[in-house]
A and B are shown apart, each in its own frame.
Chain A
Amino acid sequence: MRSPADRRILELLLRAAGLAGLVWLIAGSFMSHRPAGRVSLATRWPMSLPEWSLNPPADSLTVRLAAIPERPALDWLVALRRAGTHVTWSGAGLTALAIEVEPRGDPAGGVLVRAGGVPDRTLALRDRLGALDSLRLGRVGGTAIVPAAEGVVAATIRTGESVTAAVGAGDTLRRILVLGTAGWESKFVVAALSERGWMVDARLAVAPRLTVLAGTPTTIDTSVYTAVIALDSTAAPQADAITRYVHSGGGLILAPDAVGLRAFRSLLPAGPGRAVAPSGLPVERVTSRAELPIRDLAPLQPNAVALERVNGHLVAAAGRAGSGRVLALGLGETWRWRMEGDESAMAAHRSWWAANVAAVAYVPVPRGKEATDPAPLASLYQSLGSPVNAGSGANPGNSLSWVVLLGVMASLLGEWASRRLRGTA
C-alpha cells in the first residue's frame, strides 16, 4: 500500500462493504420469514398437515421431499392446494418405480407383473398371502409371470420403498378364432391352443368357395373372441371386421403370410418386412424355433415393441391399435418345430402360441376396490406438478446468502488485519 491515508481509505471501504453485507443478510432473513412461503423439513411436514389445514401457514408452501409421500399425505397436499394454498414441492433422488399387474389371457392361469424403474434393481413381489417372486429390472423394466396372486401385489426394493397394484379378477375367458388355409400350420395352431384349454373356432379354406369350420365360428366381436389369429390371405375378406374388433379392444395375431397383406397395413406394429429364408420343405430337420422360415418384420413402427429377434431379424413385434393389441409374427411353419423338434418341442410350441395369445388377449378386468399406488412418483407429478427445483433440492437464495456471508467475513477480517498491521487497535 502506497501511503497510510490510502490504507485507511481501503479499511473504510472494507468495513463499509462488510456492514452492507450484514445489513443485506439480516434484511434477507426477515424477508424469508414473511408469510409468502415455507420450506419444511422432509421428515416433519406430514405431521404439520392438520395444523396447516386449520391455519394455512402462508399463501404458498413448498415441501421438500426426501421420499415420495404416502397417498393420504399427498392427497392432503392436493386438498390444501384446492383450498387456496399454492403448494409446490422439491426433492432430488426420489425413486421412480411403477408396477402393473393383470391376469394372463391364458386358460393355464397366471398373473403377469410388469415393472419399471431404475435398472439393475431387484424387486421382491408379494401378495397378501406371502412372497411371490423376485424381479430384476433391466433397461426397459422387467416382467414376471407368477402362477397366482391374491388381492394386492406389492413390489418392494431393498430400501423399503414399494408400489402396489390390485390383481383384479379377469373376466371369463372366451374363444379364439383362427383364420387360414387348411394345412399343417392351421391344424397345429388350433391343436396347440385347444390343448392349452382354449375353445378354438376356425375357418379353414379348402377350396375357393369352400371353408371347413371347426367349432362354431361367429361374429368377430369382443363379446365372443379373446383373440383372432390371421394365418394368411384368406383372412383378408374379414379385415374390416377384424379392424373394428381390434379398435374396440380385441387382440390380433398376424402370422407371416398375413403380415404382408394390404388389408392389415393400418394395424401393423412392424413390417410388412420381407422373407429372408425360403419357405417350403427344407431338407434339414427343424429342431428349434430359430430354424423356422423367417420374415424379417423391420422396420418397427413408432410406439411398437420388439419382442423377439432371431439372428438379428425382427420376428415378433407388438403394438396397440385403438383399444386393442396387435402382434405380428415373423416365424412361419411353426408346425414343423412341434413335429420335428425334440421331446420338449410339442410343449414348447404350445406354450409359445399360448404366450402369443396372452400378449394380445382381450381380458376385461373390473377395477378392484383395494387402495393401491402402482406408480407413486407419477402420482406425485400428476398431483402437484413438476418440482420447483428438482436438481438439488437447495434454495438458490441460500447459496447467495452463503456467498455474501463469506464476503462479509473476508471484508471485516481484511479490515481488522490491516489495522493490526498498521499498529492501531
Chain B
Amino acid sequence: MSEFVFATAQYESGDWDSAPLLPANIIDSVARYTGLAVAPTGIIVSLGSQDLLRYPLVFLTGHLPVRFSQEESRMLRELIARGGMLFVDDHNHDVDGVFHRTAVEEITRVAGPLRDLPNDHPLYSAYFHFTDGPPTTSHELNGWGDNLVHKHLQAVDRDGRIAVLYSSKDYSSEWNYHPETKRFNSVDNTRFAVNLVVYALTR
C-alpha cells in the first residue's frame, strides 16, 4: 500500500514557499493521531507538471498575486476531474488582499465559483470533531491582520465532494512552526489538518 505524501504546489507566480515548516507539522500530526502510512517528508510538486497527478491532495499558499499559467490551469483541471483535491490558504489573512482576489479569480476560472462551506460539513467531523466549523487561528483571535474571524471556509463542490477548499484563515501562519514546538500548546492547533487529510483520503 502506498503511503500518503503531503505535496505543496509550486506555481510560477507568487511566493509558493511561504510556509516551509507547515508540511512537517502536518505530517507529524497525521502520524501522531492516525494509523495511516505517511511519508516522513513532504514533496514539492510543480503545478504545471504531469507529476501533479501523483498527489491527489495538494496544498497551495502564498502572499502575492496568483496567476496560473495555461499549463498550470490545465493540470489543475485534470487533478480535480480525476478526483483530486486542492487546498488553498491565504497566507495574508486578508478579506480583500491581493492573494485573496487573484486566487479566487483563478480558482473560479479553473474549477468554478467558491461557496461557503457549511460549518456542519463532514470535513469538520472527518476525524476530530469541530462543532463550530473551521478552528479559529490565533491571528483572528488577537485581531492582528484584518480584525475579523472568518466564519466559513469556502469550497468548490464536485459530485458531492470538495474539489477545491479555500481558506482565508491563514493556517499557513498558524501551522508554520516546527513540530517540536507543539508541546508548548495546550491544544494542538494542527488537528484540523488531520481532518483535511482524512477527508481527502476517504471522500
- B-binding residues in A (CB < 8 A): 181-188, 191, 195, 202, 204-208, 210, 212, 214, 232, 257, 279-281, 285, 332-333, 335-336, 338-340, 346
* Contacting pair B83 A188 (CB below 8 A): yes
Q: Which of B56, B81, B198, B201 has the most CB of A within 10 A?
A: B201
Q: Does the CB pair A208–B35 fall under 8 Å?
A: yes
Q: Mark B114-134, 1 if CB is under 8 A from A, else 0.
A: 000000000000110000000
A339 touching B54, Cβ below 8 Å: yes
Can you show 14 pairs from A to B with CB atoms below 8 A apart? A182-B202, A183-B201, A187-B202, A206-B35, A210-B127, A212-B126, A279-B2, A280-B2, A281-B39, A281-B54, A335-B56, A339-B82, A339-B83, A346-B81
Q: Do most interface residues of chain B lie in helix, strand or loop, or is the interface mixed? A: loop
Interface magnitude class on chain B: 20 to 34
Would A257 and B56 count as touching, CB distance under 8 A?
Answer: no
Q: Contacts A212-B126, A285-B50 known; A338 to B83 CB distance under 8 Å?
A: yes
B177 interfacial by beta-carbon distance below 8 Å: no
- Give the nearest-CB partner of B30 in chain A: A206
- B82–A338 touching, CB < 8 Å: yes
CA distance A183 to B39 in the complex (A): 13
- In the complex, whether B34 has a CB less than 8 A from a CB of chain A is yes
Closest 3 CB pairs of A and B: A207-B35, A339-B53, A182-B201
**B1 contacts across to A, CB distance below 8 A:** 181, 183, 185, 232, 257, 279, 332-333
Q: Which of B5, B35, B50, B201 is A281 in contact with, Cβ under 8 Å?
A: B5
Residue of B nearest to A180 (CB): B1
Measured in the bound complex, the distance between the Cα atoms of B198 and A210 in whole Å is 12
Contact B54 A340 (CB under 8 A): yes
Q: Are A184 and B36 also in contact (CB < 8 A) when A206-B127, A346-B82 are?
A: no
A187-B83 contact, Cβ under 8 Å, with A214-B203, A281-B5, A336-B54: yes
Q: Are A187 and B35 in contact (CB under 8 A)?
A: no
Do A183 and B83 contact each other (CB < 8 Å), given the known contacts A214-B202, A232-B1, A336-B54?
no
Known contacts A188-B83, A207-B33; is-contact A182 B198 (Cβ 8 Å): yes
Which of A182, A186, A188, A214 has the most C-beta atoms of chain B within 10 angstroms of its own C-beta? A182
Residues of A within 8 A of B34 (CB): 206-207, 210
Q: Is the CB of B2 within 8 A of A181?
A: no
Q: How far is the CA of A336 from the CA of B5 in the complex (A)?
A: 13
Q: Are A333 and B202 in contact (CB under 8 A)?
A: no
Q: Binary interface profile of B, 26-44, with partner A (CB < 8 Å = 1, else 0)? A: 0000000111110100000
Contact A183 B36 (CB under 8 A): yes
Sample of 16 more A-B contacts, CB < 8 Å, known A181-B35, A210-B127, A346-B82: A183-B2, A184-B2, A184-B201, A185-B1, A187-B203, A188-B56, A206-B35, A206-B127, A207-B33, A212-B126, A212-B198, A285-B50, A333-B2, A335-B56, A339-B56, A346-B83
